[in-house]
Amino acid sequence: MINRQASPSTMASRRVPKMTSKEGTSQCQEKHAVLLSPVGKLEISGCETGVHEIKLPRLSVLPNGTEAAMRCELSGSVTSMPEPLQQCAAWLNAYFCEPSRTEQLPLPPFHHPMLQQDSFTKEVLWTLLREVKFGEAISYQQLAERAGNSRAARAVGGAMRSNPIPIIIPCHRVICSSGQIGNYGGGNVMKEWLLSHEKLQKEKLAD
């Protein structure tokens, strides 16, 4: 369960342009929240339409992986948080604490220009989200093939670096063909932890 601690300073709002059509942009009221997770502070931003971004902390050492550390605390007033951010926080809490529930929870809607405009990057990210499940891994080359361009492994790497919704859109599951984990926006220590977390939890669910 997410523990909620009221802290007005942890949430802010500002108007930012977000793409809504090919004809132009419109303003949306962006809100921010911080989820204290086993891998540190996850900064979530979004509006009533959807999640804009999840910003990851950069880890220098692996956090403690004990069951006692598997909890999340949501900073900020949940009553002032848009529904997509509440859904995002609930999904992330399940990911860390009760992974079997992630398949039952709705994904929060996304509201980021990159995920609205037609592009190979968008196709790669949606393919990854749809097809590479918890505890699985895929190579950059394999993902390029599934997204429709077998020669675009390097472009897949660029798409992973541009991913605005990490963990939910699981770019940490994309690894090198050699088996090496490759780079990650949140740092290699974070990527290693996420992959190990999923492997361990998948093994527990299989028992």
Active site residue 97: no
Q: Which of 28, 47, 88, 171 is catalytic?
A: 171
- Dig out the tokens for 199 from the structure: 């492997």
Q: Kindly report, residue by residue over 120-173, the tens digit of the pLDDT.
A: 999 999 999 999 999 999 999 999 999 999 999 999 999 999 999 999 999 999
Q: Name the average pLDDT for the chain.
A: 84
pTM of the model: 0.83
Domains, the chain: 3-101 (3.30.160.70), 118-206 (1.10.10.10)
Dihedral angle at the C-alpha atoms of 49, 110, 122, 39, nearest 10 degrees? 150
Half-sphere exposure of residue 122, counting CA atoms within 13 Å on the CB side? 10
Give, in order, the Cα–Cα distances in Å from 22 to each of 29, 52, 111, 162: 20, 18, 15, 21
Confidence of residue 206 (pLDDT cuts 50, 70, 90): confident
Crossing angle (nearest 10°) for helices 120-131 and 153-162: 80
Q: Kindly report, residue by residue over 67-110, the tens digit of the pLDDT.
A: 445 678 887 666 688 999 999 999 999 999 999 999 899 999 99
Question: What angle is formed at CA 202 by the lines to CA 196 and CA 207, rounded to 5 degrees?
Answer: 130
